[in-house]
Amino acid sequence: MAFALTIAIEVHNVMLVARRRDLVLDAVLINLATHPLAWVAATVHPRSFVAIEIAVATAEWGGYVVVSRLGTVRAAFASVLANAVTAAAALVVWP
């Protein structure tokens, strides 16, 4: 369920910021790489929520620059926005 929520939020936000509809597969694959790592990190360091989100946003930013060929600023904004909204939703769904 957590991955489905992540995909639903992040794919939409990334496409909105990037103004490209062809990023669905890229966003899913990038999140498929970072989501399990975030879960493992959260189980090992449960009080490091913010640090884990920063690490994930940074990794996804790199993915959007390299894989999706977004500019660095647009990729950073897309990644930070998508992860901030997802983190907020996670805190509401799983307090």
Reported residue count of the chain is 95
The answer to pTM > 0.85 is yes
Determine the pLDDT at residue 54: 95
Distance CA 73, CA 27 (A): 17
48 DSSP assignment = -
Determine the pLDDT at residue 7: 93
What is the mean pLDDT of each successive set of 10 residues along the chain, which is 95 residues long? 90 90 93 94 92 95 96 95 93 84
Q: Which residues contact 66 (CB under 8 A, 6 or more apart)?
A: none
Residue 49 lies in domain: 2-93
Q: Which residues contact 45 (CB under 8 A, 6 or more apart)?
A: 51, 52
- Domains: count for the chain: 1
Q: How many CB atoms lie within 10 A of CB 6?
A: 24
Distance CA 70, CA 27 (A): 12
